[in-house]
Amino acid sequence: MATISIASDKGGVSKTTSAILFAAELALDGYKVALVDADLNQQAVAFGLKADIVGLTVLGDVREDNILTMLRKAEAENEVVIVDLPGGSSTLALKALHRSHFVLVPSQASLPDVRAAMKTIAQIDDAQELARTPIARAILWTRVLSGFESRSARHVRESVEAEGQVPILRTQIMERAAFREIHITGKVPRQVDPSSSAAANVTAFAGELLTRIASLSEAAA
């Protein structure tokens, strides 16, 4: 069992989309998954109302005063709990980070996004200090254009990767219409066209993240 938070200090980086794609992929693979929507916009809850995925439960109405109780219950009833955190710092976010085994930080390869990602990393460090135990984390590059990367985006990405201060997933979430459409249809790419590039992108992303989480469990054993 693992609790994974998806966190970003900035909007527009596909935080909620990444949370939905990961949760749905695991549920389609047979895991029992709870997606806890702590974001003010409640887009994951809206997706959950449309979706028909066995094993996936989307929970809303998350507040500072009930987040820990909700997480304990979700962890007891599911194999994986994924938390879509609100943007910015808050007591609610700190509580969820404190309880997380892994935190994923989505970011576009732009200077404002990377600065926001570093603020999120600092929040994870605060939660780690309070927990007195390491909290694993990684950056996920999102909304990457297929077949083209601007000079500025490449410079930002390569600079962050060269510094090596924060782990970065090898898999990137590409900019695809199929990912935007999940909020309209309630269906993820694997349900619409399992052989599509979008579906393969999600499978690779989820597989890499699961491998990282599994390695944490092995190290702790």
Give me the DSSP letters along the chain.
-EEEEE--SSSSS-HHHHHHHHHHHHHHTT--EEEEE-STT-HHHHHHHH---TTEEEE----TTTHHHHHHHHHHH-SEEEEEPPSS--HHHHHHHHH-SEEEEEE-SSHHHHHHHHHHHHHHHHHHHHHTS--EEEEEE-SBPTT---HHHHHHHHHHHHH-SS-B-SS--B--HHHHHHHHHS--HHHH-TTSHHHHHHHHHHHHHHHHHHHHHHHH-
Residue position matching structure tokens 């028909």: 52
Residue position matching structure tokens 């077949």: 147
pTM: 0.93
Quick one: average pLDDT of 51-63? Answer: 97
Cβ–Cβ < 8 Å for 161, 114: no
The pLDDT tens digits of the residues spanning 21-53 come to 999 999 999 999 999 999 999 999 999 999 999
Domains of the chain and any CATH numbers: 2-213 (3.40.50.300)
Q: Using CA atoms, how far apart are residues 63 and 74, in angstroms rounded to an integer?
A: 15
Kindly indicate the confidence band of residue 218, based on its pLDDT and cuts at 50, 70 and 90: low
Quick one: average pLDDT of 76-105? Answer: 94
Kindly indicate the confidence band of residue 121, based on its pLDDT and cuts at 50, 70 and 90: very high
